Copies of this chain bind each other. A is one copy, B any other.
Amino acid sequence: MSQNKRTELIRKALDLFYQNGFHATGMDLVAERTGVSKTSIYKHFRTKEELILATLRLRDENFRNWLFRRMQELAPPPEDQLLALFDALGEWFSQSTFRGCMFIKASAEYQDRDHPINVQAMEHKRLLLEHFANLAEQADLDEPRALAAQILILKEGAIVLAAMSHSGAPAQDAKRAAERLVALASGS
């Protein structure tokens, strides 16, 4: 299997898991929808869990690339990027394919502390936190790590509520909160 085919398989499996859930998506369906026979899939991934982990790696890469780039496009200065985060989220929420955060859902279905899927989901959130903390530092804001943690909490809460309510409003609500927190960390 070529690298392209393999990536394409992971990409399509990602869509299925993201849209339908992990337990709810069987490997027969994955084979049917990817056009790759189940035998071939199991040649390249020893278990369903390994395939899930591969989809999460791809998602992590794609999502962070998209989000960080979009934040920078919307508002280059580091301080403004922390607010543009919520505009980017708003764009995401309004997409018809939006179904919440894949890592939250993965962690919810495989929630044991040491389960590789949960570990990988947590790693994704840690990388987001790092990025926000770096931006807060570059913007010379007070207590950059504490602020970054708060921004991350606002982001996750907005995603959860947007997915559940099928509404984009939480992006604006969270942005207003973030504006005040950033202003306080900047002004004083």
Chain A residues in the interface with B (C-beta under 8 A): 21, 23-24, 99-100, 103-105, 107-109, 111, 113, 118, 121-122, 125, 146, 149-150, 152-158, 160-161, 163-166, 169-170, 173-174, 176-177, 180-181, 184
A-B contact pairs, 5 of them (CB 8 A): A107-B163, A149-B173, A153-B170, A155-B157, A180-B180
Nearest-Cβ distance from residue A110 to partner chain B, whole angstroms? 8
* Contact B152–A157 (Cβ < 8 Å): yes
The complex places the Cα of A152 from the Cα of B121 at a distance, in Å, of 23
| CB-nearest residue of chain B to A110 | B21
User: Complex Cα distance A161/B156, Å?
Assistant: 8
Task: Flag if B166 contacts A157 (CB, 8 Å).
Answer: no
Contact across chains for A177 and B181 when beta carbons are under 8 A apart: yes
Nearest CB on B from A169, distance (A): 8
Q: Are B173 and A184 in contact (CB under 8 A)?
A: no
Taking chain A's interface residues, is the majority helix, strand, or loop, or is none over half, making it mixed?
A: helix
A104 touches B150 (CB 8 A): no
Q: How far is the CA of A176 from the CA of B151 in the complex (A)?
A: 12
| Contact indicator B100/A164 (Cβ below 8 Å) | no
Using known A-B contacts A160-B157, A176-B146, A176-B150, determine if residue A104 contacts B108 with beta carbons closer than 8 Å: yes
Give the residue name and chain of the B residue nearest to A25 (CB): B23
Chain B positions within 8 Å of A125 at CB level: 161, 164-165
- In the bound complex, do residue A24 and residue B177 qualify as a contact, i.e. CB atoms below 8 Å apart? no
A150 CB contacts on chain B under 8 angstroms: 154, 173-174, 176-177
Chain B residues lying within 8 Å of A23, measured Cβ to Cβ, are 21, 23-24, 109
CA distance A4 to B146 in the complex (A): 47
